[in-house]
Amino acid sequence: MSTDGEPTKAGAAGYRVAEGCTLRPREGVLVLSDIEIANAAAMDRITDVGRDRLGIPEEHLVPYGHHKAKVDLRYLATLEDRPLGKLVLMTAISPTPAGEGKTTTTVGLTDALQGLGHRSMACLREPSMGPVFGMKGGAAGGGYAQVVPMTDINLHFTGDFAAIAAAHNLLSALIDNHVHHGNELEIDVRSVTWKRVIDLNDRALRDLVVGLGGIGNGYPRQDGFDIVVASELMAIFCLTESWADLKRRIGDIVVGYTRSKAPVTARDLGAHGAMTVLLRDALAPNLVQTLEHAPAFVHGGPFANIAHGCSSVVATRAALRLADYVVTEAGFGADLGAEKFVDIKCRKSGLRPDAAVVVATVRALKYHGGVDVPELATEDLDALELGMANLRRHLHNIREVYGVPCVVAVNRFPTDTDAEVARVVELCAAEGVRAFPARHFAEGGVGAEDLAKGVLELLEEPSPHEFGFTYDDDLSLTAKVEAVAARLYGAREVTWDGKARRRLERIEADGYGALPVCIAKTQYSFSTDATLRGAPSGHELHVREVRLSAGAGFVVMVCGDVMTMPGLPRRPASDHIDLADDGTILGLS
């Protein structure tokens, strides 16, 4: 993907190709696009990947074509007594327009671990289809570190998002239907917070009035569509453990309030059973492979701002029973994705990361040091040193707050100078953290071999830290936000909109005070100002809005603008996406 780095010149000139990787650059063409690489991939049958790499008998794989499969949940339940593998969390510095390459590094590290003879596995989020036709493109890694089949994964895949959308929208329809047929529950339609969803970028649906056209069409009210990844149902899906747990959580969803301000749940509307039926098959994790045939679960994909931004607990837990090393990615930088991985996903599931890898690039560090995009190709050791402040704070948070041992992956770009890369390694060493340059984008797994060895070494050492959460359950919601702001963001204080404060009080009064918080703020800065690069301190964290996700089990603190329905650009990517007469998909990136 465009933000995931490019092949190194060395790689492009004399491609070293990982063993087991059947790809070669086309003659005379030095740089292939992601889709060219992916379309040329010689994939193993997924039943072979499951059997040979993970020991899953064929009858427990539910195939979706020859290269995707779901692993039967009933089979996974039989593995409960197996020891768990080591869990490696892939996180990153604060994202920049320069690109970091977290998914790519997750895939590269998994391939490298496999190349070293280990049973390894990646756990990734499913890409949203909307951005594929918009600006961002897909999200299945890039270069020679991809999961395949790339076009399938980026489009309908195994139908999980469609299932989540159907279940979400069934609840929406049941709300309006209930009101239309007499409103027994006395729902105050002005208070309905459960919107509708679609897996497209469509700004026209952000804000609308439904129920027009007269009596037969129900009561008009203001409503809106979010993109599917923003659905609370997506977060529930990714935090749940079983069908029974899924149904319970769905029942707990608060869709709005009665005229006397009591919460109305999906259970009150009798919607939870049918919604769970719609998600039955989707809940089984999706097995695919990397270009080097390492197994990967790609399952679930909640936003990393209004939700927790991690792939499913079901997939992570299954992977830990099937493989010795599991690499999983959290969204955005370590202040958002890793924090939520720890404080939401780990807290709720009991999962614990054994180590973390923090992805950084020379370009991104220079950007954090004040260099703007057009100048990023020029060597600048001073800016690099300044930008280290960002990485340094993330390292501190991961080790001292979450208590997780970590290494740094320096994802190399062609414009990086050797001096710059050496300086990053040196500066990390000064922090007591090993950093490993990696060339998996251009070289596949062998390009991340040093990184893999570093991770294995780290996993062998006794951890000097003790795993912990940023805050305890029994703090008030306010104190929880304050803990995150002070301990992780370097903020001076937390301030509140009056409306947010009142909503918070209502939520605590309704009995949701023991939930963890999920902070939605810009991913580009430790502050709420996207332009403050590096490691700003002493700023104010202003909570503009508070939202309850009672089914997922967290309270969202919205700090700044959060877009839950993207738009399309003037020239959307769909302009160039096409199907050749022989069925080849062209132009997807």
Minimum CB separation of residue 190 from a second copy in Å reads: 15
Binding flag, residue 78, a second copy (CB under 8 A): no
Tokens representing 466 are 């003790």
Q: Is 103 annotated among the ligand-binding residues? A: yes
User: End-to-end CA distance of the chain, in Å?
Assistant: 6
Nearest CA-CA partner of 252 in 515, 460, 520, 585: 515
* Region near a second copy per CB under 8 A, out of 5-13, 83-91, 215-223, 255-263: 215-223
Looking at residues 279 to 318 of the shown chain, list those that interact with a second copy (rule: CB under 8 A).
280-281
Among 93, 148, 187, 198, binds a second copy (CB under 8 A): 198
Binding flag, residue 270, a second copy (CB under 8 A): yes
Binding flag, residue 116, a second copy (CB under 8 A): no
Indicate the residue among 28 and 214 with the shorter CB distance to a second copy. Answer: 214
Binding flag, residue 186, a second copy (CB under 8 A): no
Nearest CA-CA partner of 5 in 140, 131, 142: 142
Q: Write the secondary structure of 488-508 as one string of H (helix), E (strand) and C (coil).
A: HHCCCEEEECHHHHHHHHHHH
Binding flag, residue 341, a second copy (CB under 8 A): no
* Region near a second copy per CB under 8 A, out of 49-57, 294-302, 330-338, 575-583: 575-583
Spatial separation of the C-alpha atoms in residues 220 and 53, rounded to whole Å: 55
Binding flag, residue 205, a second copy (CB under 8 A): yes
Which amino acid type is present at position 205?
Answer: L
Residue 345 burial class via C-beta count within 10 angstroms: exposed 0-12, middle 13-18, buried 19 and up: buried
Spatial separation of the C-alpha atoms in residues 418 and 412, rounded to whole Å: 10
Number of residues this chain uses to bind a second copy (CB under 8 A): 81
Using DSSP, state whether 410 is helix, strand or coil: strand
Rg (CA), the chain: 23
Tokens representing 156 are 């309908």
Looking at residues 426 to 485 of the shown chain, list those that interact with a second copy (rule: CB under 8 A).
none
Using DSSP, state whether 104 is helix, strand or coil: helix
Spatial separation of the C-alpha atoms in residues 146 and 103, rounded to whole Å: 8
Indicate the residue among 133 and 496 with the shorter CB distance to a second copy. Answer: 133
579 strand-pairing partners: 585
Among 3, 240, 265, 276, binds a second copy (CB under 8 A): 276
Among 51, 180, 453, 542, binds a second copy (CB under 8 A): 180
Using DSSP, state whether 530 is helix, strand or coil: coil
Residues 368 and 94 sit within 8 Å (Cβ to Cβ): yes
Minimum CB separation of residue 513 from a second copy in Å reads: 30
Q: Is 195 annotated among the ligand-binding residues? A: no
Looking at residues 247 to 266 of the shown chain, list those that interact with a second copy (rule: CB under 8 A).
247
* Region near a second copy per CB under 8 A, out of 197-205, 257-265, 402-410, 427-435: 197-205
Provide the mask over 499-518, with x wherever binding to a second copy is found by CB under 8 A and - wherever it is not. --------------------
Binding flag, residue 173, a second copy (CB under 8 A): yes
